[in-house]
Amino acid sequence: MIVLLKFYTMQKLILALILITSYSCIYTQNPQDMQSRHTSAQHNDTGEYPIQLEEQEWKDRLQPSQYYILRQAGTERPFTGKYYKNKDAGIYYSAATGQPLFVSDAKYDSGCGWPSFFEPITEGVILYRKDTTHGMIRTEIIDSSSGSHLGHVFDDGPPPTGLRYCMNSDAMIFVRIDQEAPALVKDYMEKHASEKERDAVEDFIKANN
């Protein structure tokens, strides 16, 4: 009983830390209403995605920490993600499907404890929906290929967009510019990628070689 109580208390402390850190990162918005008002981040999730799997298939495909974030809309603790301080040149892909999401040129240090970007790699890779959990109103971001949770977007980012895409490291796969893409990414790019996605990836690689 004591062990269970300690575990429950620790879980509450971790959640409180995440919420406090989230609040501290919002400088211009009402602490209770933090959803993005930006025209490019309006809610557009239809619930229909080209890649759909049964939940057991997702569990088999993903690591437990990835499943918790991508399929259960969990959040990793701030300042702990493997990509939080990553400054290498490369592309960030969805860990659920291999869909390209962001390039390193759009990454910046927001000081919030999670990897932050000011814009996606191209239009259409991110979908937006209203999130009212934990007593807040936020704009959740998901990958458009499977509807998997990535993080949230806020209106306190730098120019030119003014947006901060606050991401979970375990929701992404990072491929350095000099690395070969893993099988998941190759499969997505071959079978599912749009022309815009292919062009964006190719253009970034060419510009950095």
Residues serving a catalytic function are: 166
Q: Per-residue DSSP letters for 60-120?
A: HHS-HHHHHHHTT---PPTT--TTTT---SEEEEETTT--EEEEGGGEE--SSSS-EESS-
| Contact criterion met (CB below 8 Å) for 149 and 70 | yes
| Contact criterion met (CB below 8 Å) for 92 and 101 | yes
Which amino acid appears at position 192 of this protein?
H
Residues 6+ apart with CB under 8 A from 64: none
